[in-house]
Structure 1
């Protein structure tokens, strides 16, 4: 027989049991799963446009963009390029006070907001590293290779000393190294032959460098010129849609260039031209014929 006291003890025990958490017999809790965070998308690396290799894998040569008449949405374009020349043996002349740079020209291009391409020799970048770095860092400009020493890549090129064939690639690489040392972070894979002189041997020698050789179709005639009006007239008479103009960024050898540019730029803008960098002209040359604006023709 169950006594009254034992019954009350049993009821109290059962009441206590119903209030305990049922952890022992409950289903195990499944941890909340969060999808892994998507990996950060790396910024797209800008690859400057280049031309496909020429015959037998030779270095391709670019002279001008397609001759489009231009429209309101796609104006006619022209690229001003400036050679910053300095040979490997001109250090003593610079030390004696000769100026191979032209800060006034660079400032004028900035003031007039003219996109431009500078073809530097490695020796120039070594002599003027702060200027080379500032030009390379300015989004208005781009820096390309004009050899290290400004020695010719062919024989009989305006009296310039000649780089032997086995040293041509080394000369180009040395210039790129000088740019990096000066702080030019993104020199473009474009190369301009000193004096514009090249042959099949030079094109074969530079093929492993992966550069596009950039020539021109308008000679500014500013080398050693003292009359800015004559330089301006020569440029204005020669420019066509898609043109590449060669001028110089050297005070001692091209003292009239900055003043000529002050005439050239507004005159060409009055004619409806838009100034672009060489990379943009090369990109236009790579555009398939079917996607070019109406009126575009090949050179």
Structure 2
């Protein structure tokens, strides 16, 4: 049966109304009004889908914190520095281990200050944590503060996890107190091994040993300490002394004599430069 003219008009009106509703809905929601297209095939040439701004979340991940800045790792050495000739033709380095000790360290700092000389102090963490004022005094006077472990163990007979704890805890105390981590490390008894070299490098430190041992830890007498320093004086020499770990009154007294004598001989007492 052929539909009547009235029926055709009604169908046309319904189609028009449906199209109008579809157009109004699209304008309200932002949906496309054109014919539906098939999604482009995936592949390197496929266009990325456009995302509305609200799809981006400029928020940190849960429990995220920015990484802390650490000193660039030095090379992993296989032996420590024994001398520092690069500091100058008539340069020497004075170092003091095992402190700080409130009985002896202040006297050493006083003598160094009187002669405007800088030195390297290799600190034990268990001493440093109880004498932080002396660390700040070292920093303010321009001395270099190095790491000498927490309890002064023989590291070549120590498990790697314990080595990391001994060195890492001491670096934390130094950084918390003076505002920067140490850049130099000295193994107690000079007992380095592969584990020690790798861990100290990972923690951003270089190994520094010594050229002249004053043997002051044996309390040989003040004249003996003075003689060993003056007899061993030479360009680049690193002198080992102690400001803690026992009675160090001889070390304090000896410094008052040999330091001005070294200066009179034309030696410059320097410290290793900071690494950037």
Instruction: Give runs of aligned pairs for residues 160-171 of structure 1, distance below 5 A.
Output: 163-171=158-166
Aligned-pair CA distance for 1:189: 1.2
Off by >4 Å, runs of 4+ in structure 1: 98-101
- The answer on 1:185 being equivalent to 2:188 is no
Aligned-pair CA distance for 1:184: 1.5
Name whichever of 103-112 and 201-210 sits farther off. 201-210
SS of the aligned residue for 2:216 comes to coil
Q: What stretches of structure 1 of length at least 5 have no aligned partner?
A: 1-46, 69-73, 87-97, 156-162, 284-299
- Paired residues in the alignment total 207
Aligned-pair CA distance for 1:100: 6.0
CA distance in 2, matches of 1:130, 1:143: 13
- The answer on 1:149 being equivalent to 2:156 is no
Aligned-pair CA distance for 1:192: 0.4
Scaled by the length of structure 2, the TM-score of the pair is: 0.66
- CA-based RMSD of the aligned residues comes to 2.9
Instruction: Give runs of aligned pairs for residues 186-205 of structure 1, distance below 5 A.
Output: 186-205=180-199
Aligned-pair CA distance for 1:247: 0.6
CA contact (8 A) 2:216 2:248 kept: yes
- For the structure 1 residues 59 and 83, does the alpha-carbon distance in structure 2 shift closer, same or farther, using more than 3 Å as the test? same
- The answer on 1:102 being equivalent to 2:105 is yes
Bigger CA radius of gyration: 2
Find the counterpart in structure 1 of residue 25 from structure 2: none
- For the structure 1 residues 243 and 194, does the alpha-carbon distance in structure 2 shift closer, same or farther, using more than 3 Å as the test? same
Aligned-pair CA distance for 1:273: 0.7
Find the counterpart in structure 1 of residue 83 from structure 2: 64
CA distance in 2, matches of 1:208, 1:131: 27
Find the counterpart in structure 1 of residue 207 from structure 2: 213
Aligned-pair CA distance for 1:122: 1.0
Scaled by the length of structure 1, the TM-score of the pair is: 0.62
CA distance in 1, matches of 2:156, 2:263: 37
SS of the aligned residue for 2:195 comes to helix
Richer in helix (by share): 2
CA distance in 1, matches of 2:74, 2:203: 13
Q: 1:80 aligns with which of 88, 94, 98?
A: 94
CA distance in 2, matches of 1:104, 1:210: 30
Aligned-pair CA distance for 1:238: 1.3
- For the structure 1 residues 109 and 194, does the alpha-carbon distance in structure 2 shift closer, same or farther, using more than 3 Å as the test? same
Find the counterpart in structure 2 of residue 24 from structure 1: none
- For the structure 1 residues 186 and 59, does the alpha-carbon distance in structure 2 shift closer, same or farther, using more than 3 Å as the test? farther
- The answer on 1:269 being equivalent to 2:230 is no
- For the structure 1 residues 129 and 178, does the alpha-carbon distance in structure 2 shift closer, same or farther, using more than 3 Å as the test? same
Higher relative contact order (CA 8 A, sep 6+): 1
Find the counterpart in structure 2 of residue 176 from structure 1: 171
User: Residue deviations 1:211-236, cap 9 Å, x none?
Assistant: 10110111011113151111010111
Find the counterpart in structure 2 of residue 14 from structure 1: none
